[in-house]
Structure 1
Amino acid sequence: MTYTEVRFKIKPKEEGTQILIAQLDELGFESFVEENNQLKAYIKTEHLSTLNIDDCQIFHNSDFELSYTLHDIEDVNWNQTWEDNFKPVYITSNCVIRAPFHKAFNVEHELIIEPKMSFGTGHHPTTHMMMEMLLEENLKHLSVLDMGCGTGVLSILSEKLGAKHILAIDIDEWCFINTLENKDRNQCKNITVKQGGEELIEGQFDVVLANINRNILLEQLPVYNRHLKKGGKVFLSGFYENDLSKIDDVCQELDLNCVKYQLKNDWICAKYMKN
């Protein structure tokens, strides 16, 4: 199968790269490598022909300077790509995400994640903030819904924090398979994984996690709310600071009150409680 490697140069690099990765992920890019002051992004050539990279919002943001070139490649060794570029991530001093090929860490919460092509390794600000907020919670004996579970990293952390039942849902087949593999890799027993959308949600939950994107959150928040227990908490991320007011308006209509939010590189993570 033929892939296209798109090489991006962006200024300012650190902030711009994180935003660009998130937006390219939404377009269907499957893997990212930061190398020699550039970002390499990989996508099936067939899929790229249906897209316009310049439609990414960041190209219309005057705060950033971007350029890119296209390069056709074949037979990408994804495993080698990840091993060469996936570094361990400290969420806090007692929580680390690492890949199976990294040495073990002597910390309270060690999560072993083989990311494959799905999003959610702790490198992106949204995943990092969601995990930071979860680490402040007492999830002992609680039920958790993880929508758009990606690698399953939030579900795995929830079990390590004491959750008795976690339902992890993702519409993407790669994410579904990856979460199954990662939950077994971390010896998790309380996680149920399903492939599909919000129609698969059953039962009531103490906690809802949704690190997706603004449009899906706005559409699905009423569904999450129907499955959230009174006094339950919703953790939302995957949207920018200028979208917070839209998210907040919908949450207020659903009687969900914002009790905390965190900002990192223009991304928001917000915590709501159901009255």
Structure 2
Amino acid sequence: MQNNNYIEYTFTVSPLQPATDILIAQLGEIGFESFVETEVGALAYIKKEDWSDDMIASIQILYNPNFDIDYKIIEIEQENWNATWEQNFNPIQVGDACVVRAPFHEKPDVTYDIIIEPKMSFGTGHHETTYMMMQHILNHDFTSKSVLDMGSGTGVLAILAAMKGASPVEAIDIDNWCYLNALENVERNHHPEIKVIEGDASLLEGRKYDIIIANINRNILLEDIPTYVSCLNTNGLLFLSGFYSEDIPVILDKCKEVGLLFENNLERNNWVAVKFKCIS
């Protein structure tokens, strides 16, 4: 029977920056999927099935003499996730118009008020890649655009796209927990028109979109970019994130190979979110 529990690392970091940002980036690279920055460092979460007790031995910043980083580890059952999250999840403001918050937070006075109950799914706005993808969405016209949120996690990007007038919107994730969580969040934000699907890029054959958002990781993106392009309408947009600035050349090469035109990118703590246009 699959163990769906998570391992929580509580890191105490001194001085806080830039060590905390570097730590989160390096943890993300080895498979940690959710993070919460705290007043003294960060919390990091990974599925127990993906964890080993020696895996963070490869985290270089732990050995940097300029920083003092301590940590402790506990196992969290899925059923206890909500209580854990409520203790640590703070609202995230993206620009002047958007806030991502939990149901127990006070309602803000913003145009786009997104309520997320994460339940171990990636995508709350705390991580740089989600934050930047939300910036991209806020900066572009999504009115009446058909949109795919690939690797949707909590569904937050699909929800923001729908709030900005996108239709139809589909959200796909291979993880069952993410799929179920996205269904709940779509309903919670009153966007039942968003179609949430469990699966991977093999489901995309025959589908067409004006905009595709894919916040996954470099290797999966490199494998799936040709599929995304085959699903884009002419002049369609592809937003990619989940990789570092040093990965941009290989991503650019793959996108150029399949006929995409680079337009711009955002960068936040060495993570990037890149915009391409389909010109074929």
TM, length-normalised to structure 2 = 0.87
Give yes or no for contact 2:241–2:274 (8 Å, CA) kept in 1: yes
Residue correspondences, number = 274
Where does residue 141 of structure 2 map in the other structure?
138
User: Is the CA contact 1:210–1:235 (under 8 Å) kept in the aligned structure 2?
Assistant: yes
Q: Which runs of no fewer than 5 residues in structure 1 stay unpaired?
A: none
Equivalent residue number for residue 258 of structure 1: 262
Per-residue deviation at 1:72?
A: 4.4
Contact 2:15 2:68 in 1 (8 A): no
1:204–1:229 Cα contact (<8 Å) kept: yes
Aligned to 2:193: 190
Q: State the AA in 2 paired with 1:228.
A: L
Query: CA contact under 8 A between 2:6 and 2:45: conserved in structure 1?
Result: yes
Alpha carbons 2:35, 2:127 under 8 Å: kept: no
The aligned residue for residue 226 of structure 2 is 222
Residues 1-275 of structure 1: pairs in structure 2 closer than 5 A: 4-10=7-13, 13-21=16-24, 23-25=26-28, 27=30, 29=32, 32-35=35-38, 37-43=40-46, 47-49=50-52, 52-56=55-59, 58-59=60-61, 65=67, 67-72=69-74, 77-201=80-204, 202-275=206-279
Distance 1:61 1:190 in 2: 49
Look up the equivalent residue of 2:84 and give its one-letter code: T
Contact 2:183 2:196 in 1 (8 A): yes
Q: Give yes or no for contact 1:18–1:124 (8 Å, CA) kept in 2.
A: no
Unaligned 5+ runs, structure 2: none
> How many angstroms apart in 1 are the aligned matches of 2:30 and 2:248?
22
Q: CA deviation at 1:49?
A: 3.2
- Contact 2:12 2:71 survives alignment (8 Å): no
Partner amino acid for 1:214? Answer: R
Using the TM superposition, give the Cα deviation of residue 90 of structure 1 relative to its aligned residue in structure 2, in angstroms. Answer: 1.0
SS of equivalent residue, structure 2 residue 118: coil
Change (3 A) 1:18 1:148: farther
Q: Is the contact between residue 143 and residue 165 of structure 2 (CA under 8 Å) also seen in structure 1? A: yes
> Cα 1:68–1:272, aligned 2, differ >3 Å: closer, same or farther?
same
Identity of aligned residues (%): 45
CA apart distance, 1:142: 1.1
| Aligned-partner Cα distance in 2 for 1:32–1:166 | 27
State the Cα distance separating 1:95 from its structure 2 match. 1.2
Q: Which whole-Å CA distance do the structure 2 matches of 1:130 and 1:119 have between them?
A: 13
2:108 is aligned with what amino acid?
A: F
Change (3 A) 1:250 1:84: same
